[in-house]
Amino acid sequence: MIQQIIPVLPALNIKQTILFYESVLGFTATDQGGYAVMKKGDIELHFFLCTDKYLCQNTSCYIKVTDVQCLFAELAALDIIYPENRLLDLPGGKKGFAIKDNNGILLRFAEETFNKKL
């Protein structure tokens, strides 16, 4: 049975990627040379060294969160919200925002804002 899914994302520079995820998002990283493992609680992201800037800039990751307003306020203070500094109402009863990491990867953060009953 499937137990966990871990995104494996491209990184133009492993050391700079580790620095970004540790200092901006609070992950703990393990540098394995051309590969890095980022962990924060039960969340895990992997990065492989990649020289294709186009690939990085056309990659994204969707991250479900709780208390999106608190996370938004924290990251908005760093002036890294993309494309504009707003918390958005999203389709499906979600609220969210996005940032770009040091590689140009779009990280989309969203929280369900209501419980849908069937």
- Return the HEC string of 12-68: CCHHHHHHHHHHCCCCEEEECCCEEEEEECCEEEEEEECCCHHHHHCCEEEEECCCH
Pick the CATH number of 8-112 from 3.10.180.10, 2.102.10.10, 3.30.1330.10, 3.40.50.300: 3.10.180.10
In single-letter form, the type of residue at position 12 comes to L
Q: What is the pLDDT of residues 78-115, one digit of tens each?
A: 989 999 889 999 998 999 999 999 999 999 999 998 65
pLDDT at 116 over 80: no
Query: Residue 18 and residue 29: Cα distance in Å, rounded?
Result: 6
Cα–chain center distance at 46: 11
Q: What is the pLDDT of residues 58-85, one digit of tens each?
A: 999 999 999 999 999 999 999 899 998 8
Q: What pTM was estimated for this model as a whole?
A: 0.90
Question: For a pLDDT cut of 70, what percent of the chain falls above it?
Answer: 96
pLDDT at 40 over 90: yes
| Residue 118 pLDDT level (bands cut at 50, 70, 90) | very low
User: Is the Cβ–Cβ distance between 40 and 26 less than 8 Å?
Assistant: yes
